[in-house]
Amino acid sequence: MSTSTASATEIVRRGILKIDDATLLATVDSLNLKGNTKVQAVVGMPLRTLQQRRDVATFAASAPIAAVKGLLELLALSPLEQVVEALGEHADSPSFDQLSTAVDQLLANGATNDDIVALLAFAIGEEFPAAAHCRRLLDERPEFELPPLPDVAGPASLLVPKQIDAEVREQRRARREQEKRKKQSAALSRPERPVKAKRTEKPKPASAPATQASPVAVAEVTRRRVNLTPAELASFSTEHALVGSVVLVEVPFDAVDPEQPELRSKQRPAVVVAASDEAILVQGVYSNQSPLRVLFQPWRRLGLDHVSYIDSVRITLQATPNEWSRLGRLTDDEWNTLF
């Protein structure tokens, strides 16, 4: 199956599926995830489930992309360092031939096919400058060919409204009306209670002024930090003034739409999770639900006209204010429900 038209997210998932289960599970077993507060729940919980259930196919196909990317990054770190050293001064933007030669050098020095697949899939997922060359290597070399993702049923959604039969709804309405009439009838037939005469109270002696009550302490809500990859931390800051803003921007598509190939992007809301003076790192807000998206609770407050969901995939966009408009800013509570 060709990787040239597959999305970066799909390649990351298929890359995990390509790697030998024993190698992958040994890496997962080496992680200390129980009680580790430094690991986000969206990453730690799926990895703990993988430790317990050993179901690599389900993890690769349906786990949050942040968890899949995190595991792939662990597997790619060592071969990435080696290929950077092999490329030397060409490491920032190598040609296809230079990258191909460096990969052959890694294999000759003892690297496995799993190491190379982890390296290439990670580079594509992180949109490295050589991502197109990595796709070509996956396509042209049979030993690196990625398997298709299995069909895994997604979790049932609690947000889908329960369907109630019209007849049952009418019976419930009639029963509520009947109970309401009974209460009104009982209230009208109940005799009036006699009114007691008010007693004249003696004036109370003046007392010392009460001590002013101490103000009740209010717990301060702290905004959680987003766990960025090393590559993202090198380019962006989570303390930038734009972080937490919701902006309306042109978000590029992951793949070419066969019905409308001329469309390459769409204007949609997005949350800024990190930024620099040159670019912003955002997560798009979509109207369609998927296993990789969670409910975007402040959609109504920010003026969106339908229930929306925030995607786990992060996208880099140029920080030119004339190309996007700001819809508002998330409160710390709203931010913490998403990250």
pLDDT above 60 (res 310): yes
- Average pLDDT of the segment spanning 258-278: 84
Mean of the per-residue pLDDT values for the chain?
83
- pLDDT at residue 158 in the model: 35
- Average pLDDT of the segment spanning 300-306: 88
* The CATH number of the domain covering residues in 231-255+263-338: 2.30.30.110
- pLDDT at residue 208 in the model: 53
User: Minimum mean pLDDT among 43-57, 153-167, 192-206, 307-321: which range?
Assistant: 153-167
Helix (H) or strand (E) holding 115: helix 113-125
User: Minimum mean pLDDT among 5-19, 208-222, 231-245, 279-293: which range?
Assistant: 208-222
Helix (H) or strand (E) holding 267: strand 265-275
Task: Name the token pair of 61.
Answer: 């196909």
Note the pLDDT tens digit of each residue in 328-338.
899 988 888 88
Are 76 and 118 in contact by the 8 Å Cβ rule? The answer is: yes
Are 27 and 1 in contact by the 8 Å Cβ rule? The answer is: no
User: Minimum mean pLDDT among 108-122, 203-217, 246-260: which range?
Assistant: 203-217
Residues in the chain: 339
- Average pLDDT of the segment spanning 233-262: 83
Note the pLDDT tens digit of each residue in 186-242.
776 666 666 666 666 666 666 555 555 555 454 555 788 888 888 888 889 988 888
- pLDDT at residue 287 in the model: 87
User: Minimum mean pLDDT among 26-30, 52-56, 210-214: which range?
Assistant: 210-214
User: Minimum mean pLDDT among 28-32, 78-82, 152-156: which range?
Assistant: 152-156
Which pTM was predicted? 0.47
d(CA 284, CA 301) in angstroms, rounded, equals 17
Where do you find CATH 2.30.30.110 in the chain? 231-255+263-338
pLDDT above 80 (res 261): no
pLDDT above 80 (res 34): no
Are 280 and 319 in contact by the 8 Å Cβ rule? The answer is: yes
pLDDT above 90 (res 292): no
- pLDDT at residue 21 in the model: 95
**Closest to 287 (Cα-Cα) out of 268, 309, 316:** 309
Sign of CA dihedral 161, 165, 170, 172: negative
Radius of gyration of the chain (CA): 29
- Average pLDDT of the segment spanning 94-117: 95
* Phi, psi for 277 (deg, rounded to 5): -75, -15
